[in-house]
Amino acid sequence: MTQACHRKCVPPHYKEAELSKGESVCLDRCVAKYLEVHERMGKKLTELSMQDEELLKRMQQGSGTA
């Protein structure tokens, strides 16, 4: 996350040591977007993996009884 947002928001030519207002605003937005996407993808993948597990359990039960 640090690398991605640094690449997007901080241009390589440094003019002063402090983060300027534009850069801090950009970093704020970048981090918020990254964390939100991370959370949503995590939830979606958890959902998909639970569906997978259910399918596998049903298959096992089906092959066990048959």
Partner 1 sequence: AVPALEVPGAAMAAAPPPGPPLQYSLLLQHLVGERRQPRAWDPGALGGIPSPPKSEEQKAVERAMESCAFKAALACVGGFVLGGAFGVFTAGIDTNVGFDPKDPYRTPTAKEVLKDMGQRGISYAKNFAIVGAMFSCTECMVESYRGKSDWKNSVISGCITGGAIGFRAGLKAGVIGCGGFAAFSAAIDYYLR
Q: Smallest Cα–Cα separation from 26: which of 7, 40, 53, 51?
A: 7
Judged by the rule CB under 8 A, the positions of this chain that interact with partner 1 are 1-2, 9, 11, 15, 20-26, 29, 34, 38-39, 41-43, 45-46, 48-50, 52-53, 56-57, 60
If the CB atoms of residues 7 and 46 are measured against partner 1, the closer one turns out to be: 46
Tell the smallest beta-carbon distance from residue 40 to partner 1 (Å). Answer: 10
Q: Which residues contact 31 (CB under 8 A, 6 or more apart)?
A: 1, 5
Tell the smallest beta-carbon distance from residue 14 to partner 1 (Å). Answer: 12
Tell the smallest beta-carbon distance from residue 65 to partner 1 (Å). Answer: 15
Q: Are 30 and 9 in contact (CB under 8 A)?
A: yes
